[in-house]
Amino acid sequence: MRTIQMREALREAITEEMRRDENVFLIGEEVAEYNGAYKVSQGMLDEFGPRRVIDTPIAELGFAGIAVGAAMNGLRPVCEFMTFNFSLVAIDQVINASAKILSMSGGQFGNPIVFRGPTGSAGQLGAQHSQSFANWYANTPGLKVIEISNPYDAKGLLKSAIRDNNPVIFMESEQMYGDKGEVPEEGYLIPIGVADIKRAGTDVTIVSFGKIMKVALAAAEALAQENNIQVEVIDLRTVRPIDYKTVIESVKKTNRLVVVEEAWPLASISREISYEVQRQAFDYLDAPVRCITTRDVPLGYAPTFVEEFLPNTKRVTEAVKAVVYV
């Protein structure tokens, strides 16, 4: 199978859906003439023209709201945030409008829209460019929330998100746009709300999603090599709705769970998973669930701070060893 970059996989998804449906369009900062801040939309202006690939001023609240209004009136916008840190400026339109239009109107006005862009840390970018908001958005009924970890999932899930008739938050990472992965030439869809077992194992379950899946997989590999601990690694892929079934089935098999997430700990997805696991699989657990999240502080600039802040292989392997009592 051919290998392409994450940005190419995302571009193919949007491009294919725009060819398929005239109502799909891309709107955001630098998406057209600049070819995308991270080159996701490279060449799309040439193919579709300025009517469907639309540069905006730096006005997230305004252009997100215009996209939401357009979706109320029959279009299917793909609304790009240069980073989800900037989406906070637009969050009124996402939470108060997009997520609620269908319900408030008694089902009359829908909101088929995708808000997409990178989330999380991406090196030494300082406190305002290093935040994760998947759990914030996942808290809101009316939204679906996806965070991808590789090019194959990215393409299949983004196509599903664009075809979905509900508002979908689709989260990427600046540090993954250059990642390469196998993506078939022919089109395919991946259903929203279905987790994927990225590595099968018998001793411990690790649940994760997004960029930090790399840490989870690296830790699993190290534990297999060095400690002969076979870790099952589940990529949630969607964090609203969460595929609890896959998680619970795995925990019933391994009896141990570590959740790895790039987000602040309080009210995080990992602590949410922990509740559900004790609720549904209490008698199967042989150790307390452990959550490895970012540190509970704003991320500072220095490299030492980045190292301290993020979940890493060492912290994950230690947590796994703790739940297997070695």
Residues in contact with 195: Cβ distance below 8 Å, sequence separation at least 6, in sequence order = 207, 234, 235, 236, 237, 238, 242, 243, 246, 247
Work out whether 109 is an interface residue with other proteins (CB under 8 A).
yes
Contact by Cβ (8 Å): 119, 147: yes
User: Which C-beta is closer to other proteins: that of 27 or that of 204?
Assistant: 27
* 129 carries an active-site annotation: yes
Is 30 annotated as catalytic?
no
Q: Closest Cα to residue 55, out of 26, 91, 93, 96? A: 26
Q: Per CB under 8 A, does 34 bind other proteins?
A: no
Q: Within 262-281, which residues bind other proteins (CB under 8 A)?
A: 279
Residue 180 CB-half CA count within 13 A: 4
In whole angstroms, the minimum distance from the beta carbon of 96 to other proteins comes to 5
Decide if residue 64 touches other proteins (CB under 8 A).
yes
Position among 30, 125, 175, 193 found at the interface with other proteins (CB under 8 A): 193
Contact status: 160 vs other proteins (CB under 8 A): no
User: For residue 265, is the peptide bond before it cis, meaning its omega torsion is within 30 degrees of 0?
Assistant: no
Nearest of 71, 65, 82, 67 to residue 31 by alpha carbon? 82
Q: What is the DSSP letter of 284?
A: G
Question: In 3-state terms, what secondary structure has residue 228?
Answer: coil
Among the listed residues 42, 166, 230, 312, the single contact to other proteins using CB under 8 A:
166
- Of 178, 187, 241, 298, which lies in the binding site for other proteins, with binding defined by CB under 8 A? 241
For residue 102, the minimal CB distance to other proteins (Å) is 5
Binding of other proteins by 63 (CB under 8 A): yes
The reply on whether position 189 binds other proteins by CB under 8 A is no
CB 290 within 8 A of CB 191: no
Under rule CB under 8 A, residue 66 binds other proteins: yes
Q: Is residue 96 a contact residue for other proteins (CB under 8 A)?
A: yes
Using only the alpha carbons of the chain, give its radius of gyration: 20
Q: What is the pattern of x (binds other proteins, CB under 8 A) and - over residues 295-314?
A: --------------------
Distance CA 326, CA 316 (A): 14
- Piece of 36-44, 54-62, 146-154, 195-203 that binds other proteins (CB under 8 A): 54-62
87, two tokens = 């989406």
33 binds other proteins (CB under 8 A): no
Kindly state whether residue 97 participates in binding other proteins, applying the rule CB under 8 A.
Answer: yes
Q: Kindly tell me which residue out of 9, 45, 101, 213 binds other proteins, with binding defined by CB under 8 A.
A: 101
Q: Tell me, what DSSP letter sits at residue 193?
A: T
3-state secondary structure (DSSP) of residue 243: coil
Least spacing, CB of residue 243 vs other proteins, in Å: 9
Does 228 participate in binding other proteins (rule CB under 8 A)? no
Q: Is 92 in the site for other proteins (CB under 8 A)?
A: yes
What is the DSSP secondary-structure string of 20-88? Answer: H-TTEEEEETTSSTT--TTSTTTTHHHHH-TTTEEE--S-HHHHHHHHHHHHHTT-EEEEE-SSTTGGG
Catalytic residue among 8, 60, 232, 261: 60
Whose Cβ is closer to other proteins: residue 39's or residue 163's? 163
Q: Indicate the residue among 245 and 314 with the shorter CB distance to other proteins.
A: 245
Q: Which of 12, 129, 262, 272 is catalytic?
A: 129
DSSP 298: P
Residues making contact with other proteins (CB under 8 A): 25, 51, 56-57, 59, 61-75, 92-93, 96-97, 101-110, 141-142, 144, 165-166, 193, 241, 279
Catalytic residues: 60, 129
